[in-house]
Structure 1
Amino acid sequence: MLIAQITDIHLGFEPGNPDELNRRRLDAVLATLGAMNPQPDLMLMTGDLADAGDDAGAYRRLTEATSRLPFPCYPLVGNHDGRAAFAAHFPAFCRDGFAQYEIDAGPLRILALDTLDESRHGGAWCDARAAWLAARLAEQPERPTLIAFHHPPVDAGLSLMGENSDAAWVRRLESVMTPHANIVAMVAGHLHRPLVTRFAGTLLAVCAATAPELALDLGTIDPEAPDQRPLIVEEPPAFALHFWTGRTLVTHFGRVADDPILARFDHRMQPLVRLLAEERRS
């Protein structure tokens, strides 16, 4: 099973411009995923779909952009999203005031979480949302389950963005997840950079953005002393592919770029390809 992930799309960053940079970057990623062989079985869109949470038009444009894909797409909320506009456009993915829901993906069960607090940039996850996840995990304790949400609940070491690993919502999420060995992985966005770590005893894979990327900077930053360091860089738009083998989840990070081709599968490469295939079979 193959699951595509895109995140941090930020449609509407240039209000009134239907050909904005973020839309062009999104379209490039969708074209790549739509032409892929094998094709993904589904796609997760893990938050910050709109740049402004009250921009209903951004959700409409996102739906238009993804409507041509040959696989279903599932939206999640991030800190730039607004629940009212999101719920108005995606009512099937909202219940009890939150955008939390289940995806029955055949060999995998996917639980999409709502980590939005509309009053802050970082994540949040209250007792009501925790109770929902606890109930869902208790329903099928043996079934392989993937958890998806926007905010990584870890301190990633980045100078500009990250999370307090001792925050109450982080501890709450950890306490709910830790007892469940059937959680095969977690996927998130928010940081505009790709990274892999562990949380609550399982893999956490963070996808880079389709919008421009956060500069890789692990130094400290003084909010009172602007020092001209790079903050946002225009790396090629990104996506992730999560491959469920039946035993484990394997994550690949991809970008849309015109990379030079240094080798093709021709008669010169055939002996190596044949050898590697034989070794895999044995």
Structure 2
Amino acid sequence: MSTEQKSGILYIVATPIGNLEDISRRAVRVLSEVDLVAAEDTRHTGQLLSALGISAELLSVHEHNEEKRSSQLIDQLASGLSVALVSDAGTPLISDPGFVIVRACREAGIRVVPVPGPSAVITALSVSGLPSDRFQFEGFLPRNSSKRRARLEELVALPHTLICYESSHRLRDSLEDFRSVYEADRQVVIARELTKQYETLLSGTPDELLGVLETDANQVRGEMVILVGPSAGKNSEELTISVDKLLKAALDELPPGQAAAMVARLTDMRKKELYQRTMEMKKP
């Protein structure tokens, strides 16, 4: 009989983004069975576990110590212990710590198992009323207004829904930047405090939403997701013009292959098609 020590399992466990009833039975079972729970904020997760009647050893894992914790967790997993990784809310790694640990575990041959559940991104998209067949998630946009506008200008030709997180104290400034970059009728949705008592969904143009915020200060409180729909009424000819502008700008700085690759990432168009268009542009 082999005496070789089997490594433990790293579980990536999604937790509620607000309503405790959204946690899955599987997540509760895993959290109650693992040897260790690695949490972004041990106090916050401790309250969650207490509400679920679970007593577990907690270890803090956040953006400032993730590299250090990575080797520590791998040693524990290699010794046969099983670990659940959780964030403060929702699915770990989505604009939260965990990537470094997951990558290190996979490279070390340690099994990583997802325990799916709530995600603010998908939750907001599902109720936004904006096109949901394709979307792009940007996480948090740059904090600096000029950098934020520059990034929005790079994304202005997206033919699908844009999703990002935003903090309450930057919401007004971000909407101002949306108003300055996008056309006046661009549709925006603010999904605030999802699954919580004061959950609200606001829809309208950036200008209309700024007006709502002026009359209701409560709408700038809490956690929120911003969704921006495709340009209203933009037809394929207009989109082609926008893509060509991007290609021409990229060609000023990059060779054709790299320019096509960059625009492909921004628009989700095929690199081969874009490369052919760059060749057409270079013809005399």
Tell me if TM exceeds 0.5.
no
Name the structure where helix makes up a greater proportion of residues. Answer: 2
Q: TM-score, normalised by structure 2?
A: 0.30
Name the structure where strand makes up a greater proportion of residues. Answer: 1
